[in-house]
Structure 1
Amino acid sequence: MQTDYHNHLERGTLTLDYLKEFTNTAAKKGIEEFGISEHAYHFYQTKNILSNPWVEERRYYDMADYLQLFQEAWNQDIPVKMSIEMDYTPGKHAEMKKFMEAYPFDYVIGSIHWVEDFGIDLAEFRKEWDRRDTYYVYKKYFDQVVTLAESDLFDIIGHLDLVKIFKYVPEDESFLLEQYERATTALANSKTCVEISTAGLRKPVRELYPDKRLLQMCFNKGVPIVLSSDAHVPEHVGADFDQAIKLAQSVGYTKIMTFSKGERLEKDLG
């Protein structure tokens, strides 16, 4: 079983023809379970959850159109899961819960892209890394991983160590491992699965998410996994899954989690 649960239509259109480019690629690559998880900040219905100048320039979708797209796909028996990737926003648990419960998502991904006013993975903010304390950013990032897990709102946490995207990494390994330790403990006490994402191979860091040491801690503590490409174009669907599977197996995983309308079932990885 292979899954690809983290994918985006934002560079194209919310149309059946464009969606089919993704699902057709998934089928050709033997991916049995495929889902679209558009960024929640694009939708007018999330304005009360996350709002800043960068986001507001990119808020142009309505959830009614998103729902209609999936309904059209299901009417034609196109196998696609409906999801959303929500920016985890501290202090907005009630608002996030209300939004997520309002729609028939198969699963929900929670991701951390913002540390206070700092868009950690955005090209527009990259120079900020040279002006900020890397240790402070990492501490605050993993603070959010912990509270995301403790909220128990999300089925999957996206790209668990996205914070390394531009290769700014604390030199003190003991500090880094401390962040991994507390993050994985919180995840183990939640329903949240971790995705092994191949997107990092296409980013400046040129590594899978998460780091092998971090994934090993996940396995040791019984945190389930899924596979994801975080494709923003059809050709990236299922990209480099051989490497993702190899990493998963190297730390001991033999199963992955699958989702359907909030229900979960573990299946053999491969």
Structure 2
Amino acid sequence: MLTDYHNHLERGTLTLDYLKLFTNEAKKKGIQHFGISEHAYHFYQTKNILSNPWVDERRFYDMADYVALFHQAWDQDIDVKMSIEMDYTPGKHKEMEAFISQYDFDYVIGSIHWVDDFGIDLKEYIQEWEKRDLHDVYKKYFDQVVTLAESNLFDIVGHLDLVKIFKYVPTDEEFLLNEYDRATTALSNSKTAVEISTAGLRKPVGELYPDERLLQMCFDKNIPIVLSSDAHQPNDVGADYDQAVAFAKRIGYTSLMTFEKGERIEVPLG
């Protein structure tokens, strides 16, 4: 069985025709568990959770239209899960919980894209990497992974070590492994699964998320996984899954977690 739970419609339209391009690609690639998880910051209903100039320029959806799209798909027997990718925002737990609880999501992804006012994965902010203390950014990033896990608001944590996207990685291995350890300990005490994401292969870092040492810690602490492509266009659905499956099996994983309206079912990987 294969999953692809992390996909975005934002470069197209919230229409059934555009959605079908994604679901048809998933079917073609043998992905049995497929979901759309649009960025929550695009929706007017999340303004009280995350707001900054970069985000506010990109807030153009209404949740009513998003939910209606899935109902159209289900009415036509299109098997697609409804999800959201929420920017985990420290200090906004009540607001995030209130938003999530309003909708009948099959699962919710929590991701970290912001460290204070620094959009760590955005090209518009890339010059900031040279201005900031690398260890400080990493520590603050993994601080958020810990509190994301402790919140227990999310079913999946997205691209667990996204912070490496532009190849700014501490050379101090002891420091790095300590950050990995405390993040995975927190995740192991939560309901949160980790995704193996092939998106990193299409980014400057040129490798899967998460790092092999980090995924090994996940496995050793019995943290479940899903597979995701983080596709922002239809042809990236299930991209490079041969590498993702081989990676998971090499670490020792033999199963994936699946989600449906809050129900979690473990299925064989492969």
User: Shorter-chain TM-score: what band?
Assistant: over 0.9
Secondary structure of 2:150's partner? helix
Give, in whole Å, the separation in 2 of the partners of 1:264 and 1:217: 22
2:139 — aligned with what?
139
Give CA deviations for 1:156-175 in whole Å, capped at 9, x if unaligned: 00000000000000010000
2:45 — aligned with what?
45
Give CA deviations for 1:76-133 in whole Å, capped at 9, x if unaligned: 0001000000000000000000100100100000000000000000010011101111
Give CA deviations for 1:201-247 in whole Å, capped at 9, x if unaligned: 00000000000000000000000000000000000000001100111
Give, in whole Å, the separation in 2 of the partners of 1:6 and 1:167: 22
1:68-79 matches, within 5 Å, as 68-79=68-79
2:183 — aligned with what?
183
**AA matched with 1:119:** G
Secondary structure of 1:256's partner? strand
Shift of 1:45: 0.2
**AA matched with 2:201:** L
**AA matched with 1:195:** E
Secondary structure of 2:109's partner? strand
1:84 — aligned with what?
84
1:151 — aligned with what?
151
Shift of 1:250: 0.7
RMSD of Structure 2 on Structure 1 (CA): 0.3
Give, in whole Å, the separation in 2 of the partners of 1:93 and 1:262: 19
Secondary structure of 2:216's partner? helix
Shift of 1:5: 0.2
Give, in whole Å, the separation in 2 of the partners of 1:18 and 1:133: 42
Give, in whole Å, the separation in 1 of the partners of 2:248 and 2:76: 34
Secondary structure of 2:222's partner? coil
2:161 — aligned with what?
161
Secondary structure of 2:264's partner? strand
The alignment status of 1:113 with 2:100, answered yes or no, reads: no
The alignment status of 1:251 with 2:251, answered yes or no, reads: yes
1:93-242 matches, within 5 Å, as 93-242=93-242
Secondary structure of 1:110's partner? strand
Shift of 1:254: 0.1
Shift of 1:190: 0.2
Would you say how many aligned residue pairs link Structure 1 and Structure 2?
A: 270
Give, in whole Å, the separation in 2 of the partners of 1:146 and 1:68: 34
Secondary structure of 2:207's partner? coil
Give CA deviations for 1:50-85 in whole Å, capped at 9, x if unaligned: 000000000000000001100000000001000000
Give, in whole Å, the separation in 2 of the partners of 1:105 and 1:90: 22
Give, in whole Å, the separation in 1 of the partners of 2:247 and 2:175: 23
Give, in whole Å, the separation in 2 of the partners of 1:249 and 1:240: 15
- TM-score normalised by L of structure 1: 1.00
Give, in whole Å, the separation in 1 of the partners of 2:117 and 2:241: 33
Secondary structure of 1:124's partner? helix
Give, in whole Å, the separation in 1 of the partners of 2:188 and 2:245: 21
Secondary structure of 1:91's partner? coil
Give CA deviations for 1:144-191 in whole Å, capped at 9, x if unaligned: 000000000000000000000000000100000000000000000000
Give, in whole Å, the separation in 1 of the partners of 2:64 and 2:109: 20
Unaligned residue ranges in structure 2 (runs of 5+):
none
- TM-score normalised by L of structure 2: 1.00
**AA matched with 2:261:** K
Secondary structure of 1:41's partner? helix
Secondary structure of 1:135's partner? helix
* Percent identical: 77
Give, in whole Å, the separation in 2 of the partners of 1:35 and 1:126: 30
The alignment status of 1:260 with 2:260, answered yes or no, reads: yes
Shift of 1:29: 0.3
